[in-house]
Amino acid sequence: MSLFDLVAGLLLILTAVAVVTLRNAVHAALALAGNFLVLAAVYMALDARFLGWIQVIVYAGAIMVLFLFVIMLLLAARADTGVDPVPSLRPFAGVVGVLLLVGLGYAVTTFEPVQSLVETAPLLAGGTAQVVGEALYGPWLYAVELIAVLLLAATVAAVVMVQPEVRRPRVKPQVAERERELEEVTR
């Protein structure tokens, strides 16, 4: 294990922890962008330069710009109110967190080196996007599609959670008075 591996691994862990612990959403998004960039450096160190540049262009570029726009548009009105939007989900979130930690512990204890999982030299010999795409998505197409649906559902859930409560449309006082009179008559 080289010094680069240790530094990159430490940076990946620190930026990932920062993403989930920072209270300011913009700071968390910037930590996520840093995580994407370090991951791109790891790809390039593994001689997967195409994947590294795709990581930079697609994730650190386009996806992060989208996240920042969503954060700025949706959270501008509710910046750091300190109010828990869904307090009833705290126990569920705790259980999910513990399950994720158990899964992470299992993954770490049964860890095998990445090089033994896939031989990258024959796959990337052509150097084309088709070869890389077939290697990435060929056998795992359904898993990738399920992850895409999960990410879409998480994005929709985040948007729904930050929306203000649905309010009754404002009515003129005369209309409100007339509605009250009609309710009294119908009783």
Q: What is the pLDDT at residue 11? A: 93
User: To the nearest 10°, the Cα dihedral for 67, 86, 144, 37?
Assistant: 40
What is the CATH code for 1-79?
1.20.120.1200
CB 159 within 8 A of CB 70: yes
Give burial (CB, 10 Å; 0-12/13-18/19+) of 153. exposed
Q: Cite the DSSP H helix spans in the chain.
A: 3-21, 25-45, 49-54, 64-74, 90-109, 120-123, 129-137, 141-162, 173-186
Cα–Cα distance for residue pair 124/144, rounded to 1 Å: 20
Ordered per-residue pLDDT tens for the chain, 187 residues = 788 888 999 999 999 999 999 888 778 888 988 999 999 999 888 887 888 888 888 888 887 777 777 777 766 555 555 566 666 777 888 888 888 888 878 877 776 655 544 565 555 555 567 777 777 778 878 888 888 898 888 888 877 776 666 555 666 777 778 788 888 887 7
Cα–Cα distance for residue pair 110/102, rounded to 1 Å: 12
Q: What is the pLDDT at residue 68? A: 74
